[in-house]
Amino acid sequence: PLTGVALPNTPPYSLRGRLSRDGLLWKIDNLGGRVGDSDLSGDVSVDTGRDRPFLKADLSSQSLDWDDLGALFGAAPKVGPGETVSPEQAAIARTMKAQQRLLPDAPLDVSRIRAMDADVSYRAASIRDAPVKLNAGSVRVRLEDGLLRAQPLKLDLPRGQVSGHVNLDARKATPVTDLDLRLTNSRIETLIPVQFQGAPALTGSLVGRARLTGEGNSVHKAFASADGEVMVVAPGGEIRKAFAELMGVNVVKGLGLLNKRDTTPIRCGVAHFETRDGVMRANNIVFDTGPVLVTGKGSVNLATERMDLRLRGQDKKFRLVRVLLPVTAKGPLMAPKLGVEPGAALAQGGAAATLGSLLSPLAAILPFIDPGLAKDANCAALLGEAQADGAPVKSAPKSLTAKR
């Protein structure tokens, strides 16, 4: 009300700084204190002599509590001993937990976004309590005439980085959000830290990309209407043989290996989701290991925040004792349940034919993440194998590759 500057929602805060004014330029120097359970410092200025107030800030945190960011988007920080949260945010947290919801639906007041301009840089030297382990992060947010751009956006993993941009166009009656984020140089064991007998069950490189566009005045509505693509690729690595066998639900063989440290190569793993109207549909899930080829399909509904995925393993060698039951992952994104489909035992054989039919489009979609993946030694070997088995494997059209 005093300045006309629209500041984001925050957890309870305690800040101090030196306020000064030079004509229509207001400054807060040596800003310091805490926002929620994160420290915050830097310099802020507001120029009120323009058509729209212009906020400029250079801010940083030595230690960012990840859930404090939720308040910016209408979610709530964690509740419990030692957590800093307002009564209103505590109520939001209870509701979201009861409904098993991940995406907040607090409405965005677009008039506030249109009423000011901004250029804000922020850095976090360390990050804690994130859904996956993050080391640090940074973002530059620019707002001009109703168009907000968070670019570049970077999140550093222990191995690898998430980078890209998120834009919010509030110039129309219904805001439009688009994001394009890439996962590069990451490791499976970093994002899926499954341990067995003191060693990672899965190791190897991991890359990915998410490109989505949605309409709506809340995070939930934007994702519920999203169109785009999400893709993750493991171009190589190793998996404990026991886990590879169990993915094919070869119970006898898998349990027999649980006390062994044998590993088998991950030749190539791909999960590709095409997203339309908030529903992510996967028709190409391929995970190829030494003993088992795992294929799958299913959907993730971002409106209802529920998933329904089905994976099936196919043994590459005939075995006298073999139980092939599809593995399922169903339920809320916050708490999916894993199971098997009883009574749906599958016959052995056909792995080569399945590999050929599923890999035929991969040469075209791998460049969505990185054009080099289609030529990667591991994934290229699968493409070549599919082609040898008679699958119509073709390289991506040059125009498509260049466009993406």
> What pLDDT tens digit does each residue of the chain (404 aa) get?
666 677 888 888 999 999 999 999 999 999 999 999 999 999 999 999 999 999 999 999 999 999 888 877 766 666 677 777 777 777 777 777 777 777 888 888 888 889 899 999 999 999 998 888 999 999 999 999 999 999 999 999 999 999 999 999 999 889 999 999 999 999 988 887 666 566 776 788 899 999 999 999 999 999 999 999 999 988 888 776 655 555 554 444 443 444 555 777 777 888 899 999 999 998 778 877 766 777 888 999 999 999 999 887 776 654 444 445 677 889 998 888 877 676 555 444 444 445 555 555 566 677 778 777 766 657 777 666 656 655 444 544 443 333 43
CA distance 255 to 257: 5
> 210 and 166 in one domain?
no
Reference 61, options 5, 139, 116; nearest CA is 139
> 313 and 393 in one domain?
yes
> 167 and 184 in one domain?
no
> 229 and 141 in one domain?
no
> 266 and 141 in one domain?
no
Long-range interactions of 29-36: CB distance < 8 A, separation 24+: 31/59, 34/84, 35/10, 35/11, 35/68, 36/10, 36/11, 36/12, 36/65, 36/67, 36/68, 36/71, 36/77, 36/84, 36/85
> 144 and 211 in one domain?
no
> 185 and 167 in one domain?
no
Segments forming the whole domain that contains residue 399 = 180-404
Partner residues linked to 127 by β-bridges: 64
> 82 and 156 in one domain?
yes
> 334 and 228 in one domain?
yes
Question: What contacts 339, CB < 8 A, 6 or more positions away?
Answer: 327, 328, 330
Which of 150, 171, 192 is a domain's end point?
171
